[in-house]
Amino acid sequence: MMSAASNDPGWARLEGTEGALTMFSVYAFPDDYPRHIVVRRSFVLRTGEIVHDVIPRLAVDLEDAREHIPPGLYCQPRAAGDEPHILEAWF
């Protein structure tokens, strides 16, 4: 499990997320970026609250998107109840 406080290349630290579970969700052509694959970072805080990073990473394909995800994480494939644009999530 990656710590939210770790120094991830290309991703800025977010105040108040220390000790949180960091996850990355990969979206295919979402409404706000219809020409891109998008990687969004979120934090699950110890309180259960989820905090979303407001700055996504844009990619041209899934392989390019995965370059924005730190190594050593587990890939969870899309589940039946996920939002339609979600391809996978990384924890």
Instruction: Please report, as a single letter, which amino acid is at residue 5.
Output: A
Q: Is the pTM of this model over 0.75?
A: yes
Residue 11 domain flag = no
Q: Examine residue 9 and state whether it is found in any structural domain, yes or no.
A: no
Q: Is residue 16 part of a domain?
A: no
Is residue 66 a part of any domain in this protein?
A: yes
Flag whether 82 is in a domain: yes
**Residue holding tokens 């969870």?**
76
Over residues 3-24, the mean pLDDT reads 70
Number of domains in the chain: 1
- Asked whether residue 8 is domain-assigned, the answer is no
Is residue 34 a part of any domain in this protein? yes
Give the integer Cα–Cα distance in Å for 63 and 53. Answer: 21
- Asked if residue 55 is part of any domain, the answer here is yes
Residues of the chain with pLDDT > 70: what percent? 89
pLDDT at residue number 57: 95
The whole domain housing 79 covers 21-90
- Quick: pLDDT tens for 64-87: 999 999 999 999 999 999 999 999
